[in-house]
Structure 1
Amino acid sequence: MARRPDPVALYERLQADDLDGALLAGLMDYVPDAADACQLPGHADLPDRLQAVQRQLQRAWQARERYRDRAVRLARRDAERDARRSPPPAPDHTPALPSAAAAILARAKARAAAPRGS
């Protein structure tokens, strides 16, 4: 069984503005117990405060995830829009002439190459 995080240590770290330390000490694994309210004299609200910080962190992490998802979605839309706006790529080779046009061109070249005046 996993060791239960010490609520007093978590509270003290939060009071010292050591959020990273509180997270490493198991803040997000904290589950309130009836005896927690009596562990720190003068702070009967200790379980409520720890749970409030848990909820605040969860909301912040969810907001960060939504922001990241939105950034990915906007980047994808921008790429799709840019792809629609850009001209199609130029072909690597010249297109073949239709057979009738090729025959006319061949006759014209043959006449131009023939010696004149004979």
Structure 2
Amino acid sequence: MSASPVSPQHLLDLVLADDLDAAVRAGLMDYVPEPGKAALTPAQSQVLIEAQQRLQRAWAARERYRARTARLARRAAEREARRAPPPAADSKPALPSAAAAILARAKARAGGSPSA
């Protein structure tokens, strides 16, 4: 994130001041406790780790929300496409010409001889 490593104490100060944006920019998500170095107490390290976990959960929730929103929009568009009337035909008959002729003859016979 940053060129020079930021001290864990500075990260802790930012987190405790509730300036998470600055803490993230300073390298909060890259923080790994180093047991050999006593820069922070275990309780202070835990504060940073919990802040990392809260941010990761929040970012994951935001991503799930965005995916859900996109999925719902896609489904709504598909539903609207199914509801839309079909495009107007180019003044072609609905039936092929041979079928239309057969239907016309059948209608003529049915209408022409009522005493069948």
TM-score with structure 1 length normalisation? 0.70
TM-score with structure 2 length normalisation? 0.71
What is the one-letter code of the residue matched to 2:25? L
Alignment-derived partner of residue 47 in structure 1: 45
Alignment-derived partner of residue 59 in structure 1: 57
Equivalent positions of 1:1-118 (< 5 A) are: 3-35=4-36, 38-39=38-39, 44-91=42-89, 93-95=90-92, 98=97
Query: Aligned equivalents of 1:13 and 1:35: distance in 2?
Result: 23
Query: Aligned equivalents of 2:82 and 2:22: distance in 1?
Result: 50
What are the superposed Cα offsets for residues 15-71 of structure 1, whole Å, 9 maximum, x if unpaired?
Answer: 2221111111100000001156x435xx54111010000000000000000000000
Question: Secondary structure of the residue that 2:69 maps to in structure 1?
Answer: helix
CA RMSD of aligned residues (A): 2.3
What are the superposed Cα offsets for residues 54-109 of structure 1, whole Å, 9 maximum, x if unpaired?
Answer: 00000000000000000010011001111111110112x311583786xxxxxxxx
Gaps of 5+ in 1: 102-118
Give aligned-pair identity as a percent. Answer: 51
Aligned residues: 96
Which structure has more relative contact order (CA 8 Å, sep 6+)? It is 2
Question: Larger radius of gyration, structure 1 or 2?
Answer: 1
Gaps of 5+ in 2: 102-116
